[in-house]
Amino acid sequence: MDKSNVKGFLEFVYDFYRSMKAHEITLVYEGEITHQITKAFTSLTESNMAKQSEANSVQKKVFHVMVECLQNISKHADSFGSDDFLFAGRGIFMVSKGKEDYHVTTGNVIENDKIEELTKMLDHINELDKEGLKELYKSQMKEGRLSEKGGAGLGFIDIARKTGKKLEFHFLPIDEGSSFFLLTSSISRNI
Amino acid sequence: MEVIKIKGTDDTPTIILDQDSGIFEISGRSLPEDVTTFYEPILNWLEDYQDVANDKTVFTFKLVYFNTASSKLILDILMKLEDMHESGKEVLIKWFFPEDDEDMEEAGEEYADIVDVPFEQVSYTL
């Protein structure tokens, strides 16, 4: 980088920092989601919440949602571009904290032919009330076999149950074959 | 039968399966990197135990957290105990939950609904 590029870059870093502050982002990560990363992020967030004397039940819910979101990326994110460029199991992961809620947001590449089924699943979950979600969870647990990757199809249902809110999601097109899948979950700080 | 004793970590539960002392217990946190591999020896042990089971087996669950992938394997364990119960052995599941943890209490109720085996909910103070 020459001098003007360095300055531009450092200004970008400051803008990035300010924009993180503006959106109250406490954790942001882009890359491969491994088990080690999952452990590190959950324990970091746990100790932050404990320091801020967040209610126990809120801490537990945030922990649950984080684990399921991170595992969704590690097990289901598709690769983008050539195989040696970016790999599967990667994505963006973000935790933000507002006055009323915590937000856990994930984004990852998904092949377009999976969108329809995923949308159907998420819409179905969003239509159900508390009792319906409970029944769906039970039947999925009974009938659903663990896929080879270890996903039980239960993560989304669990997030909806723990947060008591609808799953907010969005797909943005990347190219003919793939899209970017975004999902954000809110956990209320008031019990 | 061989005793299984697994010391818990921050992502795997403590497990004790000891026929002679009559202790059968899973406690702590469960979010192993690979749930299937982690629980395989437990399920195999229970499979063998069915044939030589004690007159009465009290199986204790005292979990503080488990992820959804683990929830399926916990059901598999309960189903093994259900088989044992159906084959005429006396089995009792004790499901411990922290008294302020509604989610863990509800998880116990759900399992009790799914499997047909005597099931007792026990609250405790952390």
- Structurally, chain B folds into a number of domains equal to 1
> Rounded to a whole number, what is the distance in Å from the CA of A105 to chain B's nearest CA?
18
Please give the residue of chain B at the shortest CA–CA distance from A161.
Answer: B103
List of chain A residues whose C-beta atoms are within 8 Å of the C-beta of residue B100: 56-57
Mind listing the pLDDT tens digit of every residue in chain A (191 residues)? 777 789 999 999 999 999 999 999 999 999 989 999 999 999 999 999 999 999 999 999 999 999 999 998 888 877 765 554 455 778 899 999 999 999 999 999 999 999 999 999 999 999 999 999 999 999 888 886 655 454 547 899 999 999 999 999 999 999 999 999 999 999 999 87
Count of pairs with CB atoms under 8 A, one residue in A, one in B: 57
Q: Which of A60, A67, A141 is closest, CB to CB, to B67?
A: A67
In a domain, B8, yes or no: no
Report the CATH number of the A26-188 domain: 3.30.565.10
**Unique residue bearing structure tokens 């004690």:** B54
Quote the Cα angle for A49-A130-A120, to 5°. 95
- Both tokens assigned to B113: 């609904």
CB B50 within 8 A of CB B83: yes
A146 with B36: Cβ contact below 8 A: yes
DSSP tag of B99: T
User: Of B23, B87, B104, nearest to B121 (Cα)?
Assistant: B104
Q: Does B82 touch chain A (CB under 8 A)?
A: no
In a domain, B124, yes or no: yes
In a domain, B2, yes or no: no
B10 with A39: Cβ contact below 8 A: yes
Quote ipTM for the complex: 0.90
B68 with A154: Cβ contact below 8 A: yes
B115, exposed or middle or buried, with CB in 10 Å at 0-12, 13-18, 19+?
buried
Q: Does A146 touch chain B (CB under 8 A)?
A: yes
The residue range of the domain holding B126 is 55-101+110-126
In a domain, B49, yes or no: no
CB A89 within 8 A of CB A73: yes
User: Of A104, A112, A113, A111, nearest to A169 (Cα)?
Assistant: A104
A150 with B34: Cβ contact below 8 A: yes
List of chain B residues whose C-beta atoms are within 8 Å of the C-beta of residue A56: 100
> Rounded to a whole number, what is the distance in Å from the CA of B76 to chain A's nearest CA?
9
Checking if the pLDDT of B38 tops 70, the result is yes
- Which string of b and e fits B21-49 if b means at least 16 CB within 10 Å? eeebbbbbbbbbbebeebbeebeebbeeb
